[in-house]
Structure 1
Amino acid sequence: MFADFLSRLIQPQPAPLAGADARFALAALLVRVAKSDGDYAEDEVARIDRILATRYGLSPFEAVALRRDAEVLESEAPDTVRFTRAIKDAVAYEEREAVIEALWDVVLADGVRDHEEDALLRLVANLLGVNDRDSNLARQRVEARRT
């Protein structure tokens, strides 16, 4: 299942991802960012589950199942540059901008803004075609909701 999905995702000209495939790829990206500091904390896992449930209208059980599948996909996915560029080519800009906000939500879930996570988020935003200003505004929206 994962090998077929990955091969479709990293084609030179990937087809736009349909609903279930897009959320699968984006869930894997949430997992990758959460793992980037070497500490895949329970706060981050719980935040990913809540984001997936809210964003896609999933039950808590369905969100956990999607995240678990995304963890497997993330572990098998190519390097972040190729993986993220493939998502950019297959997902509309509006969705990518919303993903940056969700990624910031995961990064800030454990209350620590780690340098590795910051660096990866800057790279991911750039590769997704989301400029620094929009990424910073997304971070500020997340921080405002937390206070």
Structure 2
Amino acid sequence: MLERLFPRRTPDPKPLPQPNAQLALGALLVRVALANREYVVSEVAQIDRILAATFDLKPLEAAKLRATCEALERHAPGTPEFAVILRDEIDYAHRKALADAMWSVALADGKRDDAEETQLFAIETALGLSEADITCARQKALSRKSGL
């Protein structure tokens, strides 16, 4: 009875942080993994490995960063806005390396998926990568996959 008169208030959700290069990269990695509407453990693990290696984080820190990036990906701007952050803060050579990392997430589940590849192409284009570098990243990733 009292519950109807005085319903519990849910706390306001924590505000999301402003995207920086670290968060933008993580959110784009999550976006690639979610492109096919499946988010499997192998993709999550690959994202954690990339974040840990890229930003010199311990596994738990990388997992916490990924969790923040997941929330940011759901509620934040589109791919072009994240790409602008990365273009402003990361040189071309490192953006090429990001494309390789994103391909490793897309292929972490062992399958090629058109939705993930379409999302990857959009991200690579938004990052300002040349067609030749985009093609090279795809070929490199697919050759690694077939070599496994």
Normalising to structure 1: TM-score of the pair?
Answer: 0.79
- Tell me, which stretches of 5 or more residues in structure 2 are unaligned? 1-14
Range with greater deviation from structure 2 (35-44 or 52-61):
52-61
Mapped to 1, the partners of 2:144 and 2:59 lie a distance apart of 22
Mapped to 1, the partners of 2:62 and 2:125 lie a distance apart of 27
Equivalent runs, 1:94-133 vs 2, <5 Å: 94-133=93-132
Q: Which runs of 4+ in 1 moved over 4 A?
A: none
Mapped to 1, the partners of 2:49 and 2:96 lie a distance apart of 18
Mapped to 2, the partners of 1:41 and 1:129 lie a distance apart of 29
**Contact map agreement 1:43 1:110 (CA 8 A) in 2:** yes
Which amino acid letter does the alignment assign opposite residue 80 of structure 2?
A: V
Mapped to 1, the partners of 2:136 and 2:53 lie a distance apart of 21
Aligned-residue CA RMSD in angstroms?
Answer: 1.8
Equivalent runs, 1:1-147 vs 2, <5 Å: 2=16, 5-6=18-19, 21-146=20-145, 147=147
SS of equivalent to 2:128: coil
Mapped to 2, the partners of 1:82 and 1:22 lie a distance apart of 11
- Tell me, which stretches of 5 or more residues in structure 1 are unaligned? 7-20
Q: How many residues align?
A: 132
In our comparison, the structure showing a higher alpha carbon Rg is: 2
Normalising to structure 2: TM-score of the pair?
Answer: 0.79
**Contact map agreement 1:104 1:138 (CA 8 A) in 2:** yes
